[in-house]
Chains A and B, each alone.
Chain A
Amino acid sequence: GESVGLHLPTLSVQEGDNSIINCAYSNSASDYFIWYKQESGKGPQFIIDIRSNMDKRQGQRVTVLLNKTVKHLSLQIAATQPGDSAVYFCAEGGNGGSQGNLIFGKGTKLSVKP
């Protein structure tokens, strides 16, 4: 079946460096894509989203890029900080529905070295 997945299960970066987390998706009908951050013992926390009619969206220290041609999504974190250490999930939703019924990928664990 169609699914959302991630290229790398773990990513280790030095504090202050930029981080790039990648995600591949296969459902071309998805309307939007979301990045979540999940710290140990907590629920997922919304970071940023992007709709399918966009290719880039920026937030505070984060940028999401969407390449529909190759069905690829990435999250860029600028000046990575120790507090960014967490598991990052991409998720997709479709058909104009609410963001709640989503398909999540497996996650990438980001470790930030001081």
Chain B
Amino acid sequence: DTGVSQDPRHKITKRGQNVTFRCDPISEHNRLYWYRQTLGQGPEFLTYFQNEAQLEKSRLLSDRFSAERPKGSFSTLEIQRTEQGDSAMYLCASSLADSDTEAFFGQGTRLTVV
């Protein structure tokens, strides 16, 4: 296993279009997290899953954002009707469901909305 994998690495889209990102966590990890990071800022928590259940969503996650993890393995994050303010790095992380276990981050998907 090579760690958390995200696809695509870069995405440029026109305003108003829908985009979908994929995250493949470390295989034995049952928790999966999505974060958003804008330039010069730290990552901001969006949502997380334990297995297939979405347990927490940040108020940052507007109605245009939806995340799924249908089989408790990979996850997708969809943004509908993209806006320029959605331009950011979208990071995925995974961990075991253990408070003493570190979360491993993927390399992120860089979204640019033009």
Tell me the A residues contacting B by CB distance below 8 Å.
4, 31-32, 34, 36, 41-46, 49, 89, 91, 96-107
Cβ-defined partner of A43 (8 Å) among B44, B102, B106: B106
CB distance from A35 to the nearest CB of B (A): 11
Q: Are A44 and B91 in contact (CB under 8 A)?
A: yes
Q: Does B105 contact A (CB under 8 A)?
A: yes
Given A41-B107, A43-B105, A45-B105; A99-B99 close (CB under 8 Å): yes
Q: Does B104 contact A (CB under 8 A)?
A: yes
Q: Which of B40, B97, B102, B104 has the most CB of A within 10 A?
A: B102
Q: Are A34 and B44 in contact (CB under 8 A)?
A: no
Q: Does B69 contact A (CB under 8 A)?
A: no
Cβ-closest chain A residue relative to B105: A43
Q: Are A99 and B95 in contact (CB under 8 A)?
A: yes
Tell me the B residues contacting A by CB distance below 8 Å.
4, 31, 33, 40-45, 48, 56, 91, 93-99, 101-108
Q: Are B103 and A98 in contact (CB under 8 A)?
A: yes
Q: Are B33 and A101 in contact (CB under 8 A)?
A: yes
Given A43-B4, A98-B98; A104-B105 close (CB under 8 Å): no
Cβ-closest chain A residue relative to B58: A101
Residues of B within 8 A of A32 (CB): 99
Given A96-B99, A107-B41; A43-B107 close (CB under 8 Å): yes
Given A41-B107, A43-B107, A98-B103; A106-B98 close (CB under 8 Å): no
CB distance from B43 to the nearest CB of A (A): 5
Task: Write 5 A-B pairs (CB below 8 A) sorted by A numbering.
Answer: A41-B107, A100-B93, A102-B103, A104-B42, A104-B43
Q: Are B56 and A101 in contact (CB under 8 A)?
A: yes
Give Cα A55 to B94, complex, Å. Answer: 27
Give Cα A5 to B57, complex, Å. Answer: 22
